[in-house]
Amino acid sequence: MLVDDSDDDEFLTRRALKKAGYACDVLRVSDGQQAIDYFGRQGEYADRKKYPETQLVFLDIHMPRVSGFDVLNWLREHPVDPPPYVVMMLSSADESRDRLQAAGLGAHNSCAKPPGPQLFAELAERHGFTWISAGDRPEI
């Protein structure tokens, strides 16, 4: 899953996945409220056949309506099962402070925006996201 309001960052993330050799579907929601609705199974996201659980989330910090930090707070207050592995995507502004805050709120990893092919390979190797390349998991 990609939670980001930028069409350009979506394009670059999809391109990085392709360059890393992974053929997979990416569900994108464009703001933090949609992510909360997805995890909370609200509205259109209540249908788990159409919107299955996601294991890996790339979460932008700065978005309209609800920020990435707000999504992390919501996940901490409303744990989902299975809990997703959250990678916080950072812009260059205040990156070190944002990394610390993201980690304190439960983000597992942080990266600069947009994520590059090396990060996808590292996550697959280090954390066992083998389904990324196997193609047997419809969402990330």
Residue 38 domain flag: yes
The pTM of this model reads 0.84
Residue 61 domain flag: yes
pLDDT digits (tens, 9 = 90+) for 79-103: 898 889 999 988 765 678 888 899 9
Residue 60 domain flag: yes
Alpha-carbon span 88 to 80, nearest angstrom: 18
User: Tokens 């294991």 identify what position?
Assistant: 55
**How many structural domains is the chain composed of?**
1
> What does the pLDDT average to over 50-54?
88
Angle, in degrees to the nearest 10, between helices 32-39 and 68-77: 20
CA dihedral sign of residues 13, 36, 29, 67: negative
Residue 25 domain flag: yes
Residue 140 domain flag: no
Task: Kindly report the CATH number assigned to the domain that includes residue 116.
Answer: 3.40.50.2300
Alpha-carbon span 115 to 104, nearest angstrom: 21
**Three-class DSSP category at 39:** helix
**In which domain, by residue range, is 76 found?**
2-134
